[in-house]
Amino acid sequence: MHLAYLDAGSGSLIVQAVVGGVAGAAVAAKLYWRRLVARFRRQPTDQR
């Protein structure tokens, strides 16, 4: 993995999608949706 020398900041990366107009907001929404889905998928195993 090619990592930057500078800590770009996780929130600072995501917010750039949000400010990038409608298409950007769609990317941000998709990212959050996937995180949400991933959390629900994980939950049953987590609770065992």
> Can you give the binding site for other proteins, defined by CB under 8 A?
1-21, 23-24, 26-28, 30-31, 34-35
Least distance (Å) from other proteins to the CB of residue 22? 10
Separation CA 18–CA 25 (nearest Å): 5
| Shortest distance, position 42 Cβ to other proteins, whole Å | 15
Residues with Cβ within 8 Å of 16's Cβ and at least 6 positions away in sequence, in order, are: 24
Q: For other proteins, which is the closer residue by CB, 9 or 44?
A: 9
Of 34 and 41, nearer to other proteins (C-beta) is: 34
Structure letter (DSSP) for residue 8: -
Query: Around Cβ 28, how many Cβ atoms within 10 Å?
Result: 16
